Every structure is written in C-alpha cells, then in structure tokens.
Structure 1
Amino acid sequence: MGSRGCVRFRGIYVLPIRGKKCLIIDPKLGGSLSSIIQTSLLKEHGVELRHLSAEPIQSDCTKVVFLVRSKIDLMKFICSNVHNDISKGLQREYHVYFVPRRAVVCEKVLEDEKVHQLMTIGEYPLYVVPLDEDVLSFELDLAYKESQVDGDTSSLWHIAKAIHKLEFSFGVIPNVRAKGKASVRVADILNHMQAEEPVNSPDMVVPEINTLILLDREVDMVTPMCSQLTYEGLIDEFLHINNGSVELDASIMGVQQEGKKIKVPLNSSDKLFKEIRDLNFEVVVQILRQKATSMKQDYTEMTTTTQTVSELKDFVKKLNSLPEITRHINLAQHLSTFTSKPSFLGQLDMEHTIVEAQSYDICYEYIEEMIHKQEPLVNVLRLLILFSVTNSGLPKKHFDYLRRELLHSYGFEHMATLNNLEKAGLLKKQETKSNWLTIKRALQLVVDDTDTANPNDIAYVFSGYAPLSIRLIQHAVRSG
C-alpha cells in the first residue's frame, strides 16, 4: 500500500477502486493529472472523466471518485452533487481523495452537510508534478497570496514534505540554504521531518542532490513584474503556458477548423523547442528563418538534381523535423503580433527606466497616463508594483491619487485587489528610503551592452536586467 489509501504501481499512486467509475476532478488538478497519466489510458480502463462543478453528475456510474484539493468551496460542490443524487433516488458509492492531503476543516463541511458517512475518504499524495525532464513543480499557484494575505502558511508544510519525499529517492540533501522567513521555516520543517521519518538509504553513500537553495518570492518581487524576452518567456507572457503546453485557436497553427482549440506541447520532447526556448525572441526568429530557407534549398536541389540513396535518406531525416519547424514558425508569427505593438515596446522602455531608477517623475506620469487610457489592468498593476517595490513604496499623496484613479477607471470592484496588494506589501505608502540603488549596484543587476545572440550573462533574458533572485543564487553557489 502507498500513502493513506493509495496503491503504488510503477511509481504512480493508483486509487484502489474496482468497477466502472466516474472520476470527477477539481479543474485545477486536470493539467497536473495529465502530466502523469494520459486521459486515453483512464478511458481504456472504463473511467469516465468529469470536472467538478455545482452542476449535477451526468453519469450512470455506480462508483464516483472525487479528486480535489482541500478547499471549502469544492466541498460545497461535492455536497451539492451528492444531495442531487439523493433527491433523485440514485444510489452510488462515493470516494473523496484529497490532494495532497486531507484537511479537518473540509471534512467538517462534509459532516455538517450529512454526507460524510456516505463517503470513503483518502489522500492522493501528489506533492510535485514533473513539467519537463529537469523541472518539478509544486503547483501551489496561490501559495504567495495565501501566505502573505490570508496568513495561511500550510503551503510551507507541503513544500517541505515534497522535498522530503524527493530525499527518499535521491538521498538526504547535505547542504540547505534558505533566504527569507518562509524559506527558513521550510528548512526547519524539513529538519523535523528528517528526524521523525529518517531517510534510510544504505545503498546511497553519496546523495544525488548536493545543494538545495530555498528562496522566498518576496525577496525578489522585481523580476516577475518585468517582461521576459526569451522565446518561452514571451509565449508564457502572452499565451500563458499551463502544465507544459498552451491552448490556441486551430487557425493560429495553420489548421482550418473554425472554433477548434489545439493544445501545443512545450517541453524538451520537442527537440527544436529545447534548442530555442531560452534564446532571445529576435534570435529565435532568425534561426527559424534559416531553418526554413535551408529546407527550401534542400527541396529545390532534390527536385532538380539526381540524388544518391544516402542523400535522399538525409533529406527524409530533415523532413521529419518539418512539423516542429512549422509549429514554431506559426507560434513566432503569432507572438510577433504582440511584440510589435507600440504599447508593449513602450512598457518595456518604462520597465527599464524604473529598474535603472532613472526618473521618478517620468515613471509616475507614464503610469498615470496608462490608467487614464484604461490600458489592460494587469499591465498597469505590474508596472505600478514594479515602481512601488523599487521605491520602497510611493509618497502618500501619489499613492492615494493613483489608487483613487485606478478605482475610477476600472471600477470599485477592484478595491479588494488593491487592498490585497497593499497587505502583501507590493503596493504601499513610502515609509523608508529606498535601498534599490544600493542593491542594483552591489549585485550588478543592470548590465550594459548585453549580447543577445551570444549571451555571457543572465541579464540577456530581460535585455539588460539580471534577475535579483538569480544573482542571489549565483552568489550562494560561488560562496559554497
């Protein structure tokens, strides 16, 4: 048996329920689950797949499995589904599996709604999700908000638990470095877990992971507010990568099927993407142009001259990469419609002006103008947060004025958002003098004359700004 009610089979925890089943998934877990097991495989084993909502279950299955995060609103959906079945006289066998662990407050909701006794409760210990061959994700996208705004630090336990589970496969990590209050807390929890549940690995004399660096997000709130200029960064910026793929209209990818969406995988299994993902977008466009031109020349030569069998074989090999080239040419062409917009180019210039701390007044007036023009709210807030963070807040007069103008331009329903940003310390009144200039100089965060084609510094990712978090990691490794 695996962890609390799950059977482990070939590295995957399997829910031990036999017979025809309806698997109802928390929508946020859908992408994570698809990274581990193919939907087609579930269907082959007689599993009907549904997303959890308040709508009644449309299925004749006698066994229903809910796979959910420990969220109260999701418990209400489950209760609604069960009550609907009862009102129709339907008899089903219910199972609820919490990801990654159950919560007392959620089970209390099920008890209050008189459905707890009808259910088998378990846990599905999915703490990390493999997004690529060298990337694992906790998939805790609300952790920062929960921790900084709601005061809920349960995500720190999840992170420590995930790391501890990794240690059972790779050995105890000997060097753990933490920067920031939350990271120090994760390191402490990890130490307690190692003491309570030691990693016994007599075969593993040398651990496979030498150093773990834990870094609080709040240590570097500048970087996520800046626009990434690598190929993968821009895809995420405008098209939003989710679980290693993007979903696009079929027409963008050259498929003439009106209204149809296509999921485009973006990971290392795509050899061309692996080659170009971290390059500056302008360099990527040049590479794709060269590859397309080379393919065209090869085709012309093949049709106009006699080819040996060996030469034909080489050409066919190149043809195998044609779908990948076509895919990325279509993606790059679509991205260009965003990157060529004056609004995007103007925002890039302003990001650099703010990061370089060149002129407070110019930055302030630019943001004020964006608000009055009603530019997309997310763009305005990102620039405003960047401005606030690098200045240790805004003078009270400017803070109150911009806050008022935001609510007038975008609606008072955004008051909660502004309050949360203030609570998290991202948008605040200036109380102390900014130390951004000192940090910028000490860590060489701004690098002039970066070579985007042949970069020798991480600053090429943001065309001259080196991410603060990366500089901290570089210093930690060098002093190691």
Structure 2
Amino acid sequence: MTVPAPDGALLRETTRYELIALLDSVSGRKTLALQPALAALLDLVADRALLKEHGVEDIVYLSEKDPLSHDGHAVVYLCRPEQAVMQLLARHVHERARVVARPGRGAAAAAAAAGLRVVGVVPRFTEACKATLTELGVIRDLAVHELHMDLFRMEADCWSMERPDFFQRLYVDEDVGGLFDVAQALVKIQTIYGLVPKILYKGLFAREVAQRVVKMSRSLQKPYDDPLSGNAHFPLDSAFDSMIILDRSVDMVTPLVTQLTYEGLLDAHYGIHCGAIKVHGLDPPSGSAAARPAPPPRPPATSGSAGPSPGTTPAHGGYRTSQAAMLPKPKHVPLNADDRLYGQLRDMNFTAVAHVLNQIAKRIQENYDKRHAAKTVSELKAFVGTLGGLQAQSQSLTVHTHLAEQVMRRTTSVAFQRALEQQQHLLSGIHIDDVMLFVHELIGRQAPLDQVLRFLCLVSLVDHSIRPKAYEQLHHRIVLAYGYQHIVTLRALWRVGLFRSTDALPFVATTYNAYSRFGDTVTAHVGAAADAEASVGPPTTIQDLLAAPRRSPVPVGDRPQFKELRRRFALIVDEVDEANPADISYVFSGYAPLSIRLVQAAFTATPPKADPAGGLLGAAAAEGSVVAAAAGMAVGVVGAAATGVNNLVSGVSGGGSSARPRFVGQCAVPHIAAAEDAAAATAGSHGDAAADGREGAAAASDSTAAARRSQSRLSDVADPSWDACRDDVDLAPGPKCGELAQACPGLELTQSCARPKRTLVVFVGGATWTELSALRLLNTQERMMAASPARLGGLAAVLQPEIVRQFTAVTTGMINSETMLRAFMPPSERGGLGEHGHP
C-alpha cells in the first residue's frame, strides 16, 4: 500500500467525509446550528454548496433561541465539549418539551413538533459533558456523535488544530485534557500517512503526548496482521520517518519577541484567524479573492460562551449578520499559498517586501504594455489568453500593497522603533537598566498592558535581574495603573514562571508589602487564594502537576539558562541578510528561535558551538536600510486591464531625525564598538551583561559562521537524534529530552533511501508564524542542496544529494505575544487590549 502525498489534502478529505457522514445520518431537510467559534473552521472543511447538497437548509448560530423550526425539521448541532453549551442544549430540549405538551395536540403533531436533535461534538464527547446531559435529563433526547474535526490543513506544510485557547487551558487553567486531543490528532495523521518510526520530544507536556501517541498506536495494531499486506489501521509504508514534539514551555522567549516577517506583522496588526484576516478600508475590484463575502465576526473566545445574542444568523458562505451592523463591513482576505504573491511574500523579512512589490508591479506593467506590440490576430489572441492571469495578479498586488502600507505605518512609528531597540538590547544582554527604565516609562504613560508584561517577562526569562525590591515596586505600579483585577494576572504569570524575581519565595511572600498598600480586603483576598502556595520545584510528571497544581510547569531555577543557551545554540547571529537569508535568524533580524535551533540540532552531527551571547542583531554595515527603504518604498497599484495600469503609489516615508538610532532589519543596532562601551559602563550592576557584550562583539563572526555551518550540515544525520548534543538540549526548560520508537510489521521492508526524508514538527501550546517561516527556510535550503550541493559548501558535496529533509509543522494553534499574555488576564480583561496589539 502506497501512502498518499503528505500535503494534507487527504487529511482535509477525511474531515470532510466525517462531516458529511454526520449530516447524512439525518434524513431530509435540516438546520445546522453552529457554535460561533466553529464557523470559520467549517469554512476550511466544506462550502455552502456541499452543505446544501446534503440537506442543510439553513445555518444559524447556537444561541438561547431554539433553532428547531415548527415544521419539525431536524437540527444538527456542531459544538465544543463545554459545560455551558451542554446546559444550553438542555434548555432547548426542555423548552421544546413544553411546547409539545400543550393541550389539544394529537400524537402525530406532537411527534412532528418534537423534531430530531443530533449533536456533533468537536473533537470528542467528554465524560464531563455526558454527565451534565445525564444530570439534566436530556441525554436520551439527543443523538450525540463525535466529530473528529481536530486537525485542519492550513497549508501543505502547516496543519493546525486551531485551538486558540489551548495555551490558556494548558498553562493557566492547568487542564491537561487537551493533551489527549493532540495525541489523537497525531494518531489520525499516522492512520493516513503511516506510522512514524521515531519520535523525539522535549518538555513535560511533549513527553506526555509522545507516550500517549505510542500507547494509542500500539492499541490499534494487531499482532496477526500480515507484514506484507499492511496493518488494519496503518498503511504499510510511512510518509514521515521522524517526529519532533516540542513543548511551548521549552521556548517561551520566541512568542514574546516581535515578529518581523510579513506574515508575522500581519498577524500582529490584524490577527490571522483560520488563515484569513479582516481588513477595513480595502475595496478591491469585484471578483477578486478579497471581495468574496466575509464570514461573521468572531466573538470573543471566552470560556463557556455558547454564542452571541439571539438574532445573529449566519448563512454559511454568504452570511447574514445582525441588522444592527450598519457600519462598513471589513473585507475578508484569505492568506494562503493559493495567492501566489502572498506565498512569495509571507516568509520575507519586512525590509525586503517593498522591493518585491515594486518589481512585481513593474513586471505586470510590462506585460500589459505588450498589447501595444501585438499586430496580428494571433498575437492579440495570445495576449487575451494571458489577460485573466494578469488581472488576478493585479488584484493580488492591490491587496498586498494596501496591507504593506498599513503595516509600514506601524513599523516606522517612533514607538515601534524604540520598543525594538530595547528588545534588541535585552536579547543581546546589554543596557538592561535602560530596558527597565523603558518599562517604567510604558507604565507611566499607560501603554497597553500586554506590552508592559511582554518586556517584564522577557527580562525575567532572558536576564533574570529583577530584584525583590524592584519586583514589588513593579507590582505596585501595575496594579495602580491598570487595576487591582490584574493581581490575578501577575499571580498567573508567576505560577508559570514568566515573571519572577531573583529569589525563590512564594508569590504572596514576595508581594505582601505591595498588596498591603491596597487595604485589608485585597490583601486578605490574595492571601486566601494562595495560602497553600509553597516554593517548590517544577513537576517532573503530569501526575505531579495534577497533585500540586500550584507548581510551575516551567522549570525556573535560581538562574535561567538563556545566556548559556544563547551561546551554545548561536541564538544571536551577526551579519544577517534579510533579503537573501542563509540562517533562520533572519525572521527576527538576528535572533534565531530556540525551538527551530532544537530541530536543527536533531539533524546535525556536531551542534554549532559559538559565543554570540552578546552579539548584536543584524549587520552594522547595513545600518539605515529600514529608514531608507521606508522613505523610498514604491508600491504599485495596478488597475483592471480595461482601464490600463495605474502609476505606482509611493509608500509612507519613515524618515527620522539624525539623533534617532540606526536601524538594521527593523531593529535598532548601534555599532559594535558602542555596544562594548555601553556594556562596560554598566559592569558594576550588570557584570554578566558587560561580559556578554564584550564576548559577543569579539565572536560576532564566529556566531555567523556557526549558524551557516549548522545550515550546511542539516542533512548530515539521516536518522534524527539529539545524542550528539544532549547536554545542550537538556539546558532548555523542562525535563530531559527523550525519544521513542514505533515498530510496524513490514515497515522496514518498504523504506527507500532515495526518497525525500520528512519530519513532523509538533508544537504543543502553539507556534508563531515566524517559526513556520524558519522551518520553510530549512525546506528551501534542503531543496537547494539536492539541486546543487556545492552551493552550500564543500561538506554538502559528500552528502547523498537525493536525501532531502522536508519539514511539516503541526500545531495546536497559532500564538503571538498578545494572545499569549492575554491568556493570563481575567476573562473580563482579555478583550481590552490595544486595537492592533503591540509592536
């Protein structure tokens, strides 16, 4: 049995088949009642025409109003396994029972009015939900099915569970039930694409998922299966030879760092949800991809929310929104590789986007101008044949020109540039005092709270230099400026280990003096909420975490290991070429995400050993490139072919005074000599930072060389393993790394060394768009190596050019600093951040 191409197409078809099977289980016409959070996900599986073909007459939001019509149409619910939703379903049943029981109804009329209710629970029907329906006495009135819409194909190389609340449930609520869903999704992948022989994991939750995957896979295998005919549940062959499972707690720094790719900045500015964004002020020509009807706005993702107020009725594919929506509706812009221009721009550092847009605009203009050279009928016919493609390119260019201009207004602002400068200092380990002053300045002018917390968490994770007195002062100022309800926020951050002082005291003991200033009521409330809190180490098993829920799942010792990790994994790289990147650090203009470095280390015979701890982001020789690009950016808007091509529209100038710092790759980078002087000046209070700055300046070239060597050696190890760098990998937060093996009868008989090697990279807790861009760079470099080994160095010449490593990302959802920090806030505060988040 040959496995299908691992592009996720069959994964989508499998999910679609399950949905159709659920709909076909109900004969006749039916109403589909959607929980609002699932509306956008349904778009990824089926369109309106397919639903109508299978009897769906109407689609409504799940709300207090009973969706069952008076003529007895059946209703099919699609919902999450949440207690509030189960209670809502019970109210629907009880309300209909009162209607049916009215005097004077005949038996036939009563049966018709009762109707049929089918519930599809996504992704599984939990025991807690079953107990709730049983207790409410409606379990027999509902036909409950599990609908395994647990994994969605976002791109050929990116599959997501699209669970934006997964991080909150796992790290804040300490609900580990979602780990079963992750394991179930990975087993589902294996049933389609074959067993994965080798699984590497790092992190507490990653280990639990890996163990569950192996256990669940073994339970599906039968000992009497014929090794030559395949397994009853798994294909004989396997499309993936390895799987790397990473816990989000292994690398908490990367989600807090400002994303600098085009896709990452779009996510920060608009918020990408289910592969699309909503844009105001965009009016593309009719017929374009961006002009298609938009799905209804997604309501706030609050736990237990069953839906919006009654009266909001979506018609899937052409939604009917509330009558009160009189304001201009935002345009629904899908972001995926179907748009070839977006596929070209998405992974670029934003500094290179303007040049590409300019070049494409010129190319489209030249193609339109070819109509003037057409003299014969055949030449005119050939031009008309290309007209449709030119119009599609023009419309796509219009959309992305608008988006780039909006993002540029953000990135060229003084606030964004200053924040990037302080972030660069922090990651490089220099000017920490200036960073803390910047944080106090943000609090003083009441900047969005998530921006303040982002810097505090970075200081705590990267430098670990917040003394108890400063910690108490920061608590006091934050609660005074943003409200005492954020005591809950600060305590949640402490429990996870994102914001702590240099001591190891319990949260209440550390902040008692700060809370005592707010009076006895607040102090007593906090004390009662954490009276059993103790200073204990992190749990080493899931059982430990459940037994002591106040423990931090993130190991936070007396001194975090980021400085050592920065040195050993070359996380700071000098001389970054954002236009033609050779290292994954380009996604942050000099900072390489630790998570992707761990992936590289698994396929590298000798891990990079460099000392870039104080290295500076970007290349000093390229300083000023962002300001120059912003001032001279020309982005074109090409109109319809009937009216010709409009002139290029110049971008927004981002000029600044000469006193402002020089910028490289969207990040303020002073000269190396200036960095050394600044680090030496702060040696009294930050000796480590000064040493890091001096060592980083001396080893800048070494860090760049090490990063390039790690790229060129990526395919040295065909069999992934961390054995060569186990001590380095174990420095990352969490329990020690490990690996598991899965054996399937006959699998070794079909292994082919000549085919591409594929690895699943699983992110438990969410992934950032920049991490996906970094993985795609590894894919690109592997293809280059296969085509021309000499291009990546002499070492590649001795490799087998047919062995190409390809990576596919699987994540519980997409995450950025805003969504990550919002998870720690009280539910009433999670929607009260800035309009577009933070820089």
Q: Same fold (TM over 0.5)?
A: yes
Q: Work out whether residues 335 and 342 of structure 2, in 8 Å CA contact, stay in contact via their aligned partners in 1.
A: yes
CA distance in 2, matches of 1:88, 1:372: 59
1:438–1:9: structure 2 CA closer, same or farther, 3 Å change rule?
A: closer
Secondary structure, in 3 states, of the residue corresponding to 1:79? helix
Q: What residue is the counterpart of 1:207 in the other structure?
A: 238
1:347–1:58: structure 2 CA closer, same or farther, 3 Å change rule?
A: farther
Q: What residue is the counterpart of 2:330 in the other structure?
A: 261
CA distance in 1, matches of 2:285, 2:460: 43
1:51–1:468: structure 2 CA closer, same or farther, 3 Å change rule?
A: same
Q: Work out whether residues 253 and 331 of structure 1, in 8 Å CA contact, stay in contact via their aligned partners in 2.
A: no
1:120–1:438: structure 2 CA closer, same or farther, 3 Å change rule?
A: same
CA distance in 1, matches of 2:40, 2:129: 23
Q: What residue is the counterpart of 2:62 in the other structure?
A: 52
Q: What residue is the counterpart of 1:3 in the other structure?
A: none
1:284 is the counterpart of 2:353: yes
**Residue 306 of structure 1: CA displacement?**
4.7
1:31 is the counterpart of 2:40: yes
1:420 is the counterpart of 2:492: yes
The farther-off stretch of 81-90 and 346-355 is 81-90
Deviations 1:328-369 (A, max 9, x none): 112212222222222122211122111111122111111111
Structure 2 residue runs of 5 or longer lacking an equivalent are 1-12, 101-112, 292-325, 504-557, 606-719, 721-839
1:296 is the counterpart of 2:327: no
Query: Aligned ranges for residues 237-252 of structure 1 at < 5 Å?
Result: 237-249=268-280, 251=282
**Residue 213 of structure 1: CA displacement?**
0.2
Structure 1 residue runs of 5 or longer lacking an equivalent are 1-6
Q: What residue is the counterpart of 1:440 in the other structure?
A: 566
Q: What residue is the counterpart of 2:86 in the other structure?
A: 75
Query: Aligned ranges for residues 124-139 of structure 1 at < 5 Å?
Result: 124-139=147-162
CA distance in 1, matches of 2:177, 2:584: 33
**Residue 9 of structure 1: CA displacement?**
9.0
1:403 is the counterpart of 2:475: yes
Tell me the TM-score normalized by structure 1. Answer: 0.91
Q: What residue is the counterpart of 2:255 in the other structure?
A: 224
Q: What residue is the counterpart of 2:168 in the other structure?
A: 145
1:369–1:69: structure 2 CA closer, same or farther, 3 Å change rule?
A: same
Q: Work out whether residues 26 and 52 of structure 1, in 8 Å CA contact, stay in contact via their aligned partners in 2.
A: yes
1:430–1:86: structure 2 CA closer, same or farther, 3 Å change rule?
A: farther
Query: Aligned ranges for residues 300-339 of structure 1 at < 5 Å?
Result: 300=369, 302-303=371-372, 306=375, 308-309=379-380, 312-313=383-384, 316=387, 317-339=389-411
CA distance in 2, matches of 1:56, 1:353: 57
What is the number of equivalent residue pairs in this alignment?
474
CA distance in 1, matches of 2:592, 2:14: 43
Q: What residue is the counterpart of 1:385 in the other structure?
A: 457
CA distance in 2, matches of 1:226, 1:254: 36
CA distance in 2, matches of 1:258, 1:19: 38
**Residue 260 of structure 1: CA displacement?**
1.8
CA distance in 1, matches of 2:477, 2:80: 38
User: Of 465, 469, 477, which residue of structure 1 is paired with 2:595?
Assistant: 469
User: Of 569, 574, 578, which residue of structure 2 is paired with 1:452?
Assistant: 578
CA distance in 2, matches of 1:380, 1:84: 48
**Residue 318 of structure 1: CA displacement?**
3.1
**Residue 76 of structure 1: CA displacement?**
2.5
**Residue 234 of structure 1: CA displacement?**
0.7
1:73–1:393: structure 2 CA closer, same or farther, 3 Å change rule?
A: farther
Q: What residue is the counterpart of 2:758 in the other structure?
A: none
1:250–1:22: structure 2 CA closer, same or farther, 3 Å change rule?
A: farther
Q: What residue is the counterpart of 2:417 in the other structure?
A: 345
- Counterpart of 2:47, as a letter, is Q
CA distance in 2, matches of 1:173, 1:266: 30
Structure with the bigger RCO (C-alpha within 8 Å, sep 6+) is: 2
Q: Work out whether residues 250 and 260 of structure 1, in 8 Å CA contact, stay in contact via their aligned partners in 2.
A: no
Q: Could you say what the CA RMSD is over the residues aligned between the two structures, in angstroms?
A: 2.6
**Residue 399 of structure 1: CA displacement?**
2.0
Secondary structure, in 3 states, of the residue corresponding to 2:87? helix
- Counterpart of 1:447, as a letter, is V
The farther-off stretch of 375-384 and 80-89 is 80-89
- Counterpart of 1:289, as a letter, is N
1:374–1:54: structure 2 CA closer, same or farther, 3 Å change rule?
A: farther
1:115–1:445: structure 2 CA closer, same or farther, 3 Å change rule?
A: same
Q: Work out whether residues 349 and 579 of structure 2, in 8 Å CA contact, stay in contact via their aligned partners in 1.
A: yes
Q: Work out whether residues 252 and 330 of structure 1, in 8 Å CA contact, stay in contact via their aligned partners in 2.
A: no
Deviations 1:429-458 (A, max 9, x none): 323123222111111101112111111001
